[in-house]
Amino acid sequence: MAKKRIITVEPSIFAADFGKLADEARRIEAAGADAIHFDIMDGHFVPNLSLSPKSLAAVNRATDLFLDVHIMVYNPFEYIERLVESGADSITFHFEATEDVEGTLQYIRKCGVKAGLAFCPETSVSMIPKYITQSDLILLMTVHPGFGGQAFLPEVLEKIEFVRNFCQQYDIREGGVRAEKARDKGLSDLLEFAIQVDGGINQETAQACVRAGANKLVAGSYLFAGDMKTKIRQLKELHS
């Protein structure tokens, strides 16, 4: 029998009604989501412009859910303090958006929140091993960032497999910690490393991603159309 992977599901509030962000945040929480995925776009790194630290603060006041902030911006370092002050529990920025990847990861963690590193579909996976032990999660975009409702890119599945196999080969666990170091610190119960996917996620594409090695699913349009609670439960029940 295939081993069941622990799956977490994060509705992307980018697909919500922006006029009712607080209500939508409470709806997500009531549906049993593990976190809210919060996209911020600067209109430069991606053509679209969306949300802000101020809107993040409004959502933070409306819910106790974990706030996973994904910034599609140039100069991500400049956003970190404002996002932390606004309630971010995790900040993920793009490898392609800065020349100081290591410094940005380190500063996010220094501010007391989790640090994620995102990769666009066209970016080579050869860039990932250098940063994986400095990251709390790797986000592999399964669409081109910046717009909702795009079709899933199946070629990213090979990248998911590469990252999961790399983590298993070198026994890299939760938070980018190598297993031998975790045991030395009495942290042998760490979960498997977090590989997140975002874009075109529905029941079918989510299953393919989980089989490839993903364990964090971000979904927008799919979850906001219809019975969100049932869809979240079904996604959490997927098997690798």
Give the active site residues: 39, 198
SS (H, E, C) 167-234: HHHCCEEHHHCEHHHHHHCCCCCCCECEEEEECCCCHHHHHHHHHHCCCEEEECHHHHCCCHHHHHHH
Q: Exposed (0-12), middle (13-18) or buried (19+): which is 211, by Cβ within 10 Å?
A: middle
Helices 203-212 and 157-169 meet at what angle, rounded to 10? 30
Task: Kindly state the tokens that stand for 208.
Answer: 């393919």
Range list of H helices, 35-128: 53-62, 80-85, 101-110
How many CB atoms lie under 10 A from the CB of residue 119?
22
Instruction: Report d(CA 42, CA 14) in Å as an integer.
Output: 14
* Residue type present at position 209: C
